[in-house]
Structure 1
Amino acid sequence: MLAIGEFSRLTHLSVRTLRRYHDAGLLEPATVDPASGYRYYSADQIPTAQVIHRLRELDVPLPDVQRFLRLPDPSARGALVAEHLERLESELDRTRAAVASLRRLLQPEPPPLDVELRAVPASTVAAVEDDVDHEDVLAWYSGAMAELDAVVRDPTGVPGGLYDNALFEAGRGHLLLYRPTTDPPRSGRVHPVTLPAVELAVTTHVGQHDDIDVTYGELGAWAVANALAVAGPVRETYLVGPRDTTDPAAWRTEIGWPVFRVAPR
């Protein structure tokens, strides 16, 4: 048997940490002296202590650590760790995206925004549309785009989408994803839709969508500065995206903000 101090030196875990693991039910000593209360460990508990330490370094919650220790099947243990690692990677991606957006916002002199006023005529397209929660937009987009790709055999242009104002203001709104085609089909959720004519203030967002909200803000500020009032859903046109190239630096998304000129006061 190893006294807790010896076990601490062998595992590089502090006595305080070992006591905490004991109190949490993660790693109970092999025996506890009933008279002194001293904790004693066996040598075969060393790997278990080190595994617990690694899991806690990865911020695995205590209940998941307990589940891990109770699982006899190595493949099940591996699946539990892989699930947590995926969560960590997702959080890391969100952190990196937030840092990139913040750096862009903190630029002392951001480059001038290239904006074009464009009159877009009415057109009939193949579309999928629904009311969607803001947090479900990406999943909905993937499914809708896959359905459009499967049904629209002869697209005549790049895909696009219309995003209702309520999506940003209330967290749920109407989305419409479309592909231009000469003969829009009806199949599943895909059906013909006539998009109305509109005048747009258009700019191009470069790269991933992690900081596309910054481009939205810059375009909105430009519209205000140029005496343009906004109305109607925002339009996005996906000139180059993940379906075209795996290089995020090459992605190009046009943002079209519906506008009309305000009469001078």
Structure 2
Amino acid sequence: MHTGLTVGAFSRVTHLSIKTLRHYHDVGLLAPADVDPGTGYRYYSLEQVPTAQVIVRLRDLDMPVADVKAVLAAEDVSTRNELIAAHLARLEDRLAQAQSAVESLRELLSRPAYGSTIEYRTVREQPAIGIREVVERQDVVSWWQGALGELHGFTTARGLHRTGPIGGLFASELLQDERGEALVFVPVDGDVRPVGRIDAVVVPGAELAVAVHRGPLQTIDLTYGDLGTHAARHEIGVDGPLREFYLRSPLDVASEHDWVTEVGWPIFRSNG
């Protein structure tokens, strides 16, 4: 005679459906205390109720079954807490990404119909120091931040005189093929010997349509969209790297919402 709870009774106690309990048994997450060899009926013990309640909460937090099994199998409280803390950290990262996406969507919906204010500008060739590398699109922001810091430290340590804002050049392939050449540069006076990734470069001149982007780089695609639309509508766009000038960057302000970036789209001007 079986003294445990039937699967139906255990379902009512734990608020786990019979289908879910059978699935958890099949994947080795919560096996019944006993299975009748003749009928195949499953029976659970009252001692398994707390375990089921833990599983419910971990699964409500989207913890994968394999990770839940690891938590339940942990030999000590410290190991169990580390596993849970690691999952919570991943959830917080996802939450931050979702919040950023929500803010970006709100900004898009609240933007004025006319978009960015666009001006035309001629930029001259500039001697500079820079870091140039072929990067993956998914890595470009972290690479950009590292290059900014490295160039800032170099110019400060060498006492170099900046002749213009820090800027960046980004090949079209970076967007089109998700991999391409990027250059972050600081215009400076005088000759500079290469050190590590830092080299002397000449930033080419260009004719640009320019718009100002304010805030984090997650929404800079909106400014690029305004510029690209303008260039296509007026049939003035030409091939060439996209250009950015960092008027207020992580080097200047703590909050990314205070960043100010000028975005330049290469164009053809007959009366430059």
Q: Flag whether TM exceeds 0.5 (same fold).
A: yes
Partner Cα separation in structure 2 for residue 107 and residue 239 of structure 1: 24
Verify the 8 A CA contact 2:123 2:205 in the aligned structure 1: yes
**Residue matched to 2:14:** 11
**Residue matched to 1:164:** 171
Q: Percent identity?
A: 44
**Residue matched to 2:255:** 247
Deviations 1:54-103 (A, max 9, x none): 22112222222223323324333333333333433343344444444444
**Residue matched to 2:91:** 88
Once the two structures are TM-superposed, the CA of residue 106 in structure 1 deviates from its matched residue by 4.8
Distance change >3 Å, CA 102–CA 54, structure 1 → 2: same
Q: Does 1:195 align with 2:203?
A: yes
Once the two structures are TM-superposed, the CA of residue 33 in structure 1 deviates from its matched residue by 2.6
Partner Cα separation in structure 1 for residue 204 and residue 182 of structure 2: 15
Q: TM-score, normalised by structure 2?
A: 0.84
Q: Does 1:146 align with 2:114?
A: no
Distance change >3 Å, CA 255–CA 64, structure 1 → 2: same
Gap regions ≥5 residues in structure 2: none
Once the two structures are TM-superposed, the CA of residue 181 in structure 1 deviates from its matched residue by 3.0
Amino acid at match of 2:145: S
Deviations 1:172-212 (A, max 9, x none): 11011122333445221111111112222111112112221
Distance change >3 Å, CA 151–CA 111, structure 1 → 2: same
**Residue matched to 1:257:** 265
Distance change >3 Å, CA 44–CA 243, structure 1 → 2: farther
Partner Cα separation in structure 1 for residue 17 and residue 233 of structure 2: 61
Gap regions ≥5 residues in structure 1: none
Verify the 8 A CA contact 1:159 1:180 in the aligned structure 2: yes
Amino acid at match of 1:146: G
Partner Cα separation in structure 1 for residue 93 and residue 270 of structure 2: 44
- Count of aligned pairs: 263
Amino acid at match of 1:256: G
Verify the 8 A CA contact 1:130 1:176 in the aligned structure 2: yes
CA RMSD, aligned part only? 2.6
Verify the 8 A CA contact 2:115 2:226 in the aligned structure 1: no
